Structure 1
Amino acid sequence: MAVAIASCGRSVGFYTNLKAIEKQPIAKASFFTCSFGADPVQGFRIYSKKRLLSSDGRLVLQASPSTAVEGEKSPETDEVPIPKVIIDQDSDPDATLVEITFGDRLGALLDTMNALKNLGLNVVKANVYLDSSGKHNKFAITKVSTGRKVEDPELLETIRLTIINNMLQYHPESSSQLAMGAAFGVAQPSQQVDVDIATHIRVHDDSPERSLLYVETADRPGLLVDLVKIITDINIAVESGEFDTEGLLAKAKFHVSYKGKAIIKPLQQVLSNSLRYYLRRPSTEEASF
């Protein structure tokens, strides 16, 4: 599956492979939240020619099992928990917050933080807390060059894929629960996603000045940047957003507007149709041309 990565409203036009990330010192995780700006980022483009998804099966999501308290080790027979990476742009005006969960299997994530530092980011460990879904590691990220949160969707996607790549390397069992595990993990995902069944799109007004767009679909490399490009290509502004990777699915929430106003119903339908067409269209291998 060829995946295009573009910044807001413009195509970047590059082809490489997610394996490029694997050369970096990396660690573990997956769930995501963010807002977007026009800050350009050079380099680090990610593509995959291999189809990650199949329309032969349906995805049945299950809640992550309850995990043991800190210090206890999960038996090997336990069900592998669903990896989650959250990159949150809304909670802090000055920093991008990252939360990583993988049951009770995560360590200190020092390798993950070092990999993010190699992308020109400041990473400050915030806190760790436990609940029924496991251990949640939360830390803040800013750009070294500006001291501010990350606003470029291309760099945000690079952050997301770096974290997932670390998860695959340091927790190979996670590949059975991650879409990227189909191409880059040691085990194929235990379930396959039917995009028609998995894709859900909703738009509603949040205020007179903006609307909320919700997208849930099958995950794959480059998805975040592609979604932003599709939205901006029809002249809709993406003001901020949240992108959550949860196992095989990606769940996005975007604050959007048209000429400084909430999106009217006819344009909401155009936006929804454009996204559905893009998310469901078949991919074509580059070698077929």
Structure 2
Amino acid sequence: MAVAMAACSLGLHLCADNSLRALEKTIWGAPVLKVSSISDTTKPCYILHKTRLSSSRITIIPRATAVTDVEGGNQDETDTVPTPVVIIDQDSDTDATVVEITFGDRLGALLDTMNALKNLGLNVVKANVYLDSSGKHNKFAITKADTGRKVDDSELLEAVRMTILNNMIQYHPESSAQLALGAAFGLVPPKEQVDVDIATHLTISDDGPDRSLLYVETADRPGLLLDLVQIITDINIAVESGEFDTEGLLAKAKFHVSYKGKAIIKPLQEVLANSLRYYLRRPSTEESSF
């Protein structure tokens, strides 16, 4: 499993050109884990997004240009649209962050996504594609260009996630109705909204004497990864590593967590679970939602 992660950085800044790139960051210490749309064809259009956290900055997410010929070829509109899946894995490789993207057989070469990740100050160090019954899996490992090490802060991890989802909606507009981001940034919003109360599931279990495993499943929303990490660290629980999956309208996260180097005791598990449920079940129309 992965080693303990470094400092958390909150307050995401993304710059709008044809891809996303990270601007200045404000780093502050905290243990951490392991977007497009209808566009105006005459001028760029931007959406301002302010996260729930008081320490967060303003995020600028570019509306992508509507694309008729999606990467990998035109798709028959009568086809069944597969569920987009984006997995960010901090556990399986000790030296790099592993990203896996699946959208049936529609993703193509992902060259624009690779270039967008480079604009975030990241290197793609290895990549492979494999097929199974669920489709074509594009799997690659990324590291920070300045250090050669895995991505170690939640701000940049969320930037990676938003970059991939933004590019997916841009080059595969048919994915818009399958993603939570499609409600605000996509060509076609999801046909049905996820009932947060029904979709939210939390479990906490021991994962050896020195850490616990926190599993969270809930309705996806922009900034969710940042907020989950902040809520956990606000009660002095360390997030050592984990995996964050975006599966259509849902987000699924597994965090290895500890308190003072030990597994979390039952009373603190209840505090953590209640804090997360309170946040996740708040109405999405609040300021924190987009």
Tell me the TM-score range normalised by the shorter chain.
0.7 to 0.9
Number of the residue aligned with 2:120: 119
Number of the residue aligned with 2:42: none
Q: CA–CA distance in 1 between the matches of 2:101 and 2:272?
A: 31
Look up the SS of the partner of 1:277 in the other structure. helix
Q: CA–CA distance in 2 between the matches of 1:92 and 1:268?
A: 28
The equivalences for 1:82-93 within 5 A come to: 82-93=83-94
- How far is 1:238 from its partner? 0.6
Residue 143 of structure 2 aligns with an amino acid whose one-letter code is: T
Q: CA–CA distance in 1 between the matches of 2:110 and 2:191?
A: 25
Residues 27-72 of structure 1: CA distance to partner in whole angstroms, max 9, x if unpaired?
A: xxxxxxxxx9569xxxxxx96379xxxxxxxxxxxxxxxxxxxx99
The equivalences for 1:207-222 within 5 A come to: 207-222=208-223
1:23 counterpart = 2:20: no
Look up the SS of the partner of 2:157 in the other structure. helix
RMSD between superposed Cα atoms in Å: 2.5
- 8 Å CA contact 1:176–1:189 kept in 2: the answer is yes
Please give the TM-score of this superposition, normalised by the length of structure 1.
0.77
- 8 Å CA contact 1:21–1:165 kept in 2: the answer is no
- 8 Å CA contact 1:240–1:254 kept in 2: the answer is yes
Structure-2 change in CA distance of 1:156 and 1:99 (3 Å): same
The equivalences for 1:140-151 within 5 A come to: 140-151=141-152
Look up the SS of the partner of 2:262 in the other structure. coil
Q: CA–CA distance in 2 between the matches of 1:201 and 1:195?
A: 12
- 8 Å CA contact 1:74–1:104 kept in 2: the answer is no
Look up the SS of the partner of 2:18 in the other structure. coil
Residue 156 of structure 2 aligns with an amino acid whose one-letter code is: L
Q: CA–CA distance in 1 between the matches of 2:144 and 2:270?
A: 36
- 8 Å CA contact 2:130–2:138 kept in 1: the answer is yes
Q: CA–CA distance in 2 between the matches of 1:235 and 1:92?
A: 26
Look up the SS of the partner of 1:207 in the other structure. coil
Residue 129 of structure 1 aligns with an amino acid whose one-letter code is: Y
- 8 Å CA contact 2:10–2:155 kept in 1: the answer is no
Number of the residue aligned with 2:155: 154
- How far is 1:25 from its partner? 2.9
Q: CA–CA distance in 2 between the matches of 1:203 and 1:249?
A: 19
Number of the residue aligned with 2:239: 238
The equivalences for 1:165-176 within 5 A come to: 165-176=166-177
Structure-2 change in CA distance of 1:284 and 1:88 (3 Å): closer
What's the % identity of the aligned pairs?
76
- Structure 2 unpaired stretches of 5+: 1-6, 21-29, 34-46, 52-71
Number of the residue aligned with 2:69: none
- Structure 1 unpaired stretches of 5+: 1-6, 27-35, 40-45, 51-70
Q: Pick from 269, 283, 286: which aligns with 1:284? A: 286
- How far is 1:90 from its partner? 1.0
Structure having the higher strand fraction is 2
Q: Which runs of 4+ in 1 moved over 2 A?
A: 20-26, 36-39, 46-50, 71-76, 282-286
Greater RCO, 1 or 2 (C-alpha within 8 Å, sep 6+): 1
Look up the SS of the partner of 1:189 in the other structure. coil
